Amino acid sequence: MPADVLLHLVEPAQWRAALAECRSALGFLAGHPELDAGRLAVVGYSLGAFLGVIVAARESSVRAVALAAGGDLPTNTPFSTLIRAVADPARAARDLAGRPLLMIHGRRDRTVTPEQAKRLYAAAKEPKTLLWYDGGHWLPDPMIDRAAEWLTEVL
């Protein structure tokens, strides 16, 4: 992930606002009379995967997590320690407390590298599934369908 994108993660006010908005959306969905509050999931793509895993770890109402093109933070930037103090996806993955996790990732992704995906996946507890596709950062339609099928199965 480019350093300029990572720097946005360390802007605490923006990060807190994004977390609050996501939690607010979960609260709205949980209170909606036509939805089953016991079957809520978080789905995140790219930067949304970073946000999604952190929100899911903090919100017990989330029953499953599907992440695409997401992973742990890069380790090769001068800001890694600072960024991890604000947002730590690997710690969040450990804190999912056994809720099902699906990760979908491109073998040739240069935005969020396969190594980052492997580190996040390794941090999570079972049950967890990691699916690879032959491509880069853009998620192919069949993998979107597979994620929807997985959510149907686990919820």
Where b means 16+ CB within 10 Å and e means fewer, 24-59 reads: eebeeeeeeeeeeeeebbbbbbbbbbbbbbbbbbeb
Report CA-CA distances (Å) from 23 to 29, 30, 56, 124: 10, 10, 9, 21
Per-residue pLDDT of the chain (155 residues; tens, 9 = 90+): 554 455 455 577 888 899 999 999 999 999 999 999 999 999 999 999 999 999 999 999 999 999 999 999 988 777 777 777 778 999 999 999 899 999 999 999 999 999 999 999 999 999 999 999 999 999 999 999 999 999 999 99
Task: Look at residue 5 in the predicted model and tell me its pLDDT.
Answer: 55
What span, in angstroms and rounded, lies between the C-alpha atoms of 128 and 33?
30
| Sequence spans of domains, the chain | 3-154
How is domain 3-154 classified at the CATH fold level? Answer: Rossmann fold (3.40.50)
What span, in angstroms and rounded, lies between the C-alpha atoms of 101 and 121?
9
Please choose, from the candidates 127, 147, 19, 5, the residue with its C-alpha nearest in 3D space to the C-alpha of residue 73.
5
